[in-house]
Structure 1
């Protein structure tokens, strides 16, 4: 069981804006059932510890005791190198969505060397596009069309169960250490700013144009060194743009001086 423990120690359950303390407690219990001990809660509407512990039971008290609470999602995900978003909705703005069993095998491979987050949205609406942008992959839990709604803790249990089972027979494939979400988001901010300056993206709606780039880089899986290279390219583009702008101003001033000299001679 030691190899399983090693994989699971790198995995965390992240609850974004949960509405009810009971769901936080039940999610903590579900995660503990499947060997995952790290729980992160982001901007909860109610974090009544008594109600959380009532559903977590004494068995998952340690998970609740070490539970991390953040005000915003970007900060909460900053240290993770691979993030999976759960969603029940599909559409043109949501890239290829995987099955829990398939994503579980990928998670086990990646989590050998990378911190991985399972991201769950609010009970009433799930994750919005502005939150899913942080994710490297999306997953939907198949359900009956007659009643597709899942309780938050149920969704946590299904996802963590599939990962637990996949970890019992870890794949031989190896995923190198990836860049953290903090590093990636700084790169995306820098890239967006640079591309807006050269009018490659529409400055009025840059997020729309950045989605394709996010999907592209998520498929590749960037390492920290590659993120630094991309940011270095951005700096070079900015430097070259400033140099050309300075040269253009210098030429205009030179022309103006030439015209003034001719006027003096006249």
Structure 2
């Protein structure tokens, strides 16, 4: 069983990191990944709030960017209160826990939370498979980062008693899922060729166009073989375009 990782994107307070680690360990989660924590790492304030969670098995990895933090991740949920105008599957913490649990044995999942003040950036939301929202009172939406982590972890804890549940035969027949770092390389390969073809216009809309392309592609639940096939198709199209230019020059 490969439990989900918890990713904190640009967390600000060490206390929140420590409290998040504490609730993770309460419910059997141990893989904590930090993307550019504001106050660096290690952080004494986190130790104080962790209640010994780090000594009890919670491991911390620190990354300079999100793609590196997503290495080996096959399915990603993003915690956000805003839907951002990007088409995604949406649900609550129970739905996210169900989806992650269904993928046990098919590679690791991750649940990603944003910074205390600003939440997740759009480019992080774009590469997620699922948007996780909480039914908070619209008149008081403020939720502490560690509390937000706790809501998901508690839902995951409910499913630990069902750890003997197996992946359905249909999913077992699929090829090996593509890890997130391979998907990033595929995205970049595709976008590079689109840029050479003049697709991204006007320039100021390029980031949004890339986000929407990635959001559409990510829904396919790619296998490694599918990624290789798609990259081969991109290469063939690029070579064909180059040959056409040579023919016209002749």
Q: Same-fold call, TM > 0.5?
A: yes
2:44 match: 50
Q: 2:115 aligns with which of 104, 113, 122?
A: 122
| C-alpha distance in structure 1 between counterparts of 2:28 and 2:63, whole Å | 23
2:63 match: 70
1:228 match: 228
Deviation at 1:107, TM superposition (A): 0.6
Asked if structure 1 preserves the Cα contact closer than 8 Å seen for 2:128 and 2:215, the reply is: no
SS of aligned partner of 1:237: helix
Deviation at 1:203, TM superposition (A): 6.4
Pair 1:131-2:124 in alignment: yes
Asked if structure 1 preserves the Cα contact closer than 8 Å seen for 2:126 and 2:212, the reply is: no
- Cα deviation, 1:82-104, whole Å, max 9, x if unaligned, reads 11111011342353421111121
SS of aligned partner of 1:146: coil
Q: Show structure 1 runs of 5+ residues with no match.
A: 1-5, 251-266
SS of aligned partner of 2:55: helix
Aligned residues: 242
1:190 match: 189
Pair 1:241-2:241 in alignment: yes
| C-alpha distance in structure 2 between counterparts of 1:30 and 1:134, whole Å | 26
Q: Show structure 2 runs of 5+ residues with no match.
A: none
Report the more deviating stretch, 38-47 or 21-30: 38-47
| C-alpha distance in structure 1 between counterparts of 2:42 and 2:182, whole Å | 33
Deviation at 1:130, TM superposition (A): 1.6
Deviation at 1:246, TM superposition (A): 1.1
Deviation at 1:198, TM superposition (A): 3.1
Please state which structure has a larger fraction of its residues in helix.
1
Question: Are the structure 2 counterparts of residues 122 and 153 from structure 1 closer, same or farther at C-alpha, using a change threshold of 3 Å?
Answer: same
1:258 match: none
Pair 1:110-2:109 in alignment: no
1:260 match: none
SS of aligned partner of 1:102: helix
1:18 match: 11
| C-alpha distance in structure 2 between counterparts of 1:186 and 1:52, whole Å | 34
| C-alpha distance in structure 2 between counterparts of 1:219 and 1:85, whole Å | 14
Deviation at 1:49, TM superposition (A): 2.8
Deviation at 1:79, TM superposition (A): 2.0
SS of aligned partner of 2:86: coil
SS of aligned partner of 1:81: strand
Q: 2:156 aligns with which of 144, 163, 179?
A: 163
1:215 match: 215
| C-alpha distance in structure 1 between counterparts of 2:131 and 2:197, whole Å | 32
Question: Are the structure 2 counterparts of residues 153 and 63 from structure 1 closer, same or farther at C-alpha, using a change threshold of 3 Å?
Answer: farther
SS of aligned partner of 1:194: helix
